[in-house]
Copies of this chain bind each other. A is one copy, B any other.
Amino acid sequence: MTKETNPLIRKLGASIRLSGEERTVLTDLTRTRRRFASGKEIIHEGDTEHRAFVLLEGWVSSFKILRDGSRQIVDFQIAGDFIGMRSVLLRTVDHNVEPITDIVAASIHLDEVMELFSSQPRVAAAMMWALSADEAIVVERLVSVGRRHALERVAHFLLEMRARLRLVGMGRQQSFPCPLTQYHLADALGLSAVHVNRVLRQLREDTGVTFRGGVVKFGNIDRAMETANCDMGYLDHGGLILE
C-alpha cells in the first residue's frame, strides 16, 4: 500500500479502519482545494454565513479579539484538522480564523457533511471523534491557562503539537517544524511575549528543548514530559475506536 498523503484520511484513519470506499468518500470531500495567503482572515467573528474547511497544508490560528484589542488564540489547526465546524450551528461565527502560513484548504459544505452522516455512518463517527478530540484540546488548554505554571504550559503545548503532528505523519520523534512566533505562544497560553521568551530560555536550560529557526527540538522527551507534568491521554491517540 502506498503511503497515504491526504492528511484527513491519515487523521480519521487513526480512529477507524477505513475501507477503500470510505477513502474515496474522503478524497471526494477534499477535492475542491484552494490556496489562502498567510495573514488574511478566512473566517470572521460575527459572520452569519458559515464557512468550513479541511486544512490540507499549512497552519492556521482560531482566535477571539477582546474589546481592548488583546487576542486569545483558541487553538491552532494543522493538516487534517477541520476549520470552522465548531460554530457551524450557531447563528453567528464566534471566532476568527487566520492562516499563519500560506495554506491549502478544501471547502466543505454542511449539506455534504449531512449527506455523509446518513450514507457513511462510520466516516461520520470518525469525524465526530475528530471534533470531540479537538474540543478536548480546548478544554485541556483551559486547564493549562487556569492552573498550570508558565513553564508547564509551554512544555505541555510543545508536546501536544508534537503528538498532533505525528498523528498526521508530520515531524519526527525529537523535532517538528513550527511556524509559530512567541506572540502566538503568548496569546494561546495567556502569557506575555516577554514571559514566553523567558520561559523558553528556562525550558532549554532545564530540559534541552530548543525553538529556533522555525524548528522545535526536544533534547530529552521524558524530561520535557516531566516538566509538562501531564500525560497526553486527552488527545485520545490510542488506536482504533472502530475496526
Contacts and interface: CB of A to CB of B under 8 A. Distances in A.
Contacts of A118: 118
A168 B136 CA distance: 26
Contacts of A194: none
Nearest to A129: B89
Copies of this chain, whole number: 2
Given A142-B138, A146-B190, A90 B229 contact: no
Most buried by B among A86, A94, A136, A141: A94
Contacts of A143: 64, 66, 72, 74
B136 A74 contact: no
Most buried by B among A67, A129, A143: A143
A230 B187 CA distance: 18
B146 A189 contact: yes
Interface string A128-145: 110011011011111101
Contacts of A94: 136, 139-140, 233-234, 236
A125 interface: yes
B67 A230 contact: yes
A229 B91 CA distance: 21
A201 interface: no
Contacts of A230: 66-67
A86 B1 CA distance: 35
A197 interface: no
Interface of A: 46, 64, 66-68, 70-72, 74, 86-92, 94-95, 117-118, 125, 128-129, 132-133, 135-136, 138-143, 145-148, 187-190, 229-230, 233-234, 236, 238, 241
23 contacts: A46-B233, A66-B147, A66-B148, A66-B229, A66-B230, A70-B147, A72-B142, A74-B139, A74-B143, A86-B135, A87-B136, A89-B132, A90-B136, A91-B236, A94-B136, A94-B233, A94-B234, A135-B138, A138-B142, A141-B142, A142-B145, A146-B187, A146-B190
